[in-house]
Homo-oligomer: A and B are copies of this chain.
Amino acid sequence: MNTVFSNIIENSKKYTAQGSVASYIPELSKANPNDLGIYAVSLDGNEYFAGDFDKKFTLQSISKIITLMLAIMDNGEQKVFSYVGAEPTGDSFNSIASLEVKSLHKPYNPMINAGAILTSSLILGSSTEEKIERILNFTKKLANNENISINESTYLSEKATGDRNRALAYFMKSYNSMEGNVDEILDVYFSHCSIEVTCKDIAKIGAVLASDGILPWSGERIVPKEICRITKTIMVTCGLYDASGEFAIHIGIPAKSGVGGGILSAVPKKMGIGVYGPALDAKGNSVAGIQVLQQLSERLDLNIF
């Protein structure tokens, strides 16, 4: 079985040349564009891996599904979705126009930046530090890895270049679509985007989603089933920015990508998969990572449709 994974990595390696690493913050631009790795955790207890599965990268937008789950656990589904929609949008991830044009002035969904800033604002905690700590601890638990931490220089880079996110946040404030202090909320947001992981870590998180909220390695339930379903559904409809439809059609697996180069996938009742390849296409998704998942989906018949 590990041969299947190795072959797929080998076949897909050439696609890394078609993309380029994110350049909007210095830290991301340091990644090696040729890197490509995969790790899979099946619910029946097996683990498979190939390529650069142990390289570290930051979660970036992948963290949006973690804060979505935590925000719902903290506030209930009803409250969260009174602040943010659950509808996909054809707009790009950092669009502000639709916030103005649409009558409700609330973000379409929790996967675009505006929506993720909103879920960050809903995380409970008596201080910014505590909120960040709670997200980090939840991530460690989901990934079964006590050593996960925030990459400080990425966090500082995000903060230094975060004017677009500030615009989104102040815009929502001006419509009373979001509560709280903008700088503090963005501190939470920039922090969880900067959590550093490996393919193995996100494969484990995917496995928890695949098993509807139960940690496969201990049997402990840490997320309610309904919240896992909501999260997987939103991953299908909105997980790969404005390439989500294309991905769903050809690969058919709930997944969430980040500009750090990672893609976290959760195959319901089967396995979690972590892929890493920092060379991105024009829409911000790992070029070779998508190829890896397409081949894997076909080879193992993982398409849910």
Give A residues with C-beta under 8 Å from B: 85-91, 95-98, 100-102, 108-109, 163-164, 166-171, 173-174, 182, 229-230, 232-234, 236-238, 242-246, 248-249, 252, 254, 268, 303-305
Q: Min CB distance, A8 to chain B, in Å? A: 20
Which of B167, B245, B305 makes the CB contact (< 8 A) with A174? B167
Known contacts A164-B174, A237-B237, A249-B229; decide if A96 and B100 are in contact (CB<8 Å): yes
Q: Min CB distance, A172 to chain B, in Å? A: 8
Alpha-carbon separation in the docked complex, A276 to B303 (Å):
29
Known contacts A89-B88, A101-B101, A268-B305; decide if A236 and B248 are in contact (CB<8 Å): yes
Q: Are B229 and A252 in contact (CB under 8 A)?
A: yes
Q: Min CB distance, A164 to chain B, in Å? A: 4
Q: Min CB distance, A191 to chain B, in Å? A: 19
- Could you say which residues of chain B place their CB within 8 Å of the CB of A182? 163, 166
- Could you say which residues of chain B place their CB within 8 Å of the CB of A88? 87-90, 237-238, 244-245
Q: Min CB distance, A235 to chain B, in Å? A: 9
Q: Are B95 and A100 in contact (CB under 8 A)?
A: yes
Q: Are A87 and B170 in contact (CB under 8 A)?
A: no
Alpha-carbon separation in the docked complex, A236 to B173 (Å):
32
Q: Min CB distance, A171 to chain B, in Å? A: 4
Q: Are A170 and B174 in contact (CB under 8 A)?
A: no
Q: Are A249 and B230 in contact (CB under 8 A)?
A: yes
Q: Min CB distance, A55 to chain B, in Å? A: 30
Alpha-carbon separation in the docked complex, A248 to B232 (Å):
10
Q: Are A171 and B96 in contact (CB under 8 A)?
A: yes
Alpha-carbon separation in the docked complex, A10 to B186 (Å):
49
Q: Are A244 and B249 in contact (CB under 8 A)?
A: no
Nearest neighbor of A112 in chain B, beta-carbon distance: B90
Alpha-carbon separation in the docked complex, A75 to B146 (Å):
53
Q: Min CB distance, A71 to chain B, in Å? A: 15
Q: Are B304 and A268 in contact (CB under 8 A)?
A: yes
- Could you say which residues of chain B place their CB within 8 Å of the CB of A252? 229, 233
Which of B100, B108, B248 makes the CB contact (< 8 A) with A90? B108
- Could you say which residues of chain B place their CB within 8 Å of the CB of A167? 96, 166-171, 173-174
Chosen A-B contacts, 19 in total, with CB atoms closer than 8 Å, are A85-B245, A87-B242, A87-B246, A89-B90, A90-B90, A90-B98, A95-B100, A96-B97, A101-B101, A163-B170, A163-B173, A163-B174, A164-B174, A166-B170, A167-B171, A167-B173, A229-B252, A233-B248, A304-B304
Q: Min CB distance, A186 to chain B, in Å? A: 11
Alpha-carbon separation in the docked complex, A101 to B252 (Å):
29
Alpha-carbon separation in the docked complex, A70 to B49 (Å):
41
